[in-house]
Amino acid sequence: MAFKIVDASELRVGSNMLIDGESCTVKKMDISKTGKHGHAKCRIEAVGIISGKKKVLVVPGHDKFEVPLIEKKKAQVLSIIDEKASIMDAESFENFEIAIPEELKGQVQEGMNVEYWDIEGDKIIKRTL
């Protein structure tokens, strides 16, 4: 797995990072300077890309975080069985099953194209095309 390493103070709203092994998107960030010999503190509010759970942490500004590699790809829906869709990647023609997210349950149909994200091996459908 390929990661990029950044300091906590370099993160911005909308950037991605790993918290406890889960890929998250930064939603809010505050950087505060402390006293004469102290370190800057970063308060980061992030939401898990796959789980949707909110995470809040306060860390020194020089702490290092991993930024996950996110590949955005297109695929065609081959079939839908229960809560899962069997899709085929448009470039590599690889077939695999993927769960349909709650917000896209009525929209995903057989034969249509979707955009999915490959986040360090975890795949999630993001939108229909």
| CB-count burial class (<10 Å; 0-12, 13-18, 19+) for 83 | exposed
**Count of H-run helices and E-run strands, the chain:** 0, 11
pLDDT for 56-114, tens place per residue? 999 998 899 999 888 999 999 998 888 889 999 999 999 999 988 888 888 888 889 99
DSSP 102: G
- Domains of the chain are 3-68 (2.30.30.30), 70-128 (2.40.50.140)
Q: What percent of the residues of the chain are helix, what percent strand, and what percent coil, each to the nearest 5?
A: 5, 60, 35
pLDDT for 40-56, tens place per residue? 899 999 999 888 899 99
Q: Binning pLDDT at 50, 70 and 90, where does residue 28 land?
A: very high
Sign of torsion, CA 14 12 63 35? negative
Query: Residue 83: what are its φ and ψ, rounded to 5°?
Result: -100, 5
Is the pLDDT score of 120 beyond 70?
yes
SS3 8: helix
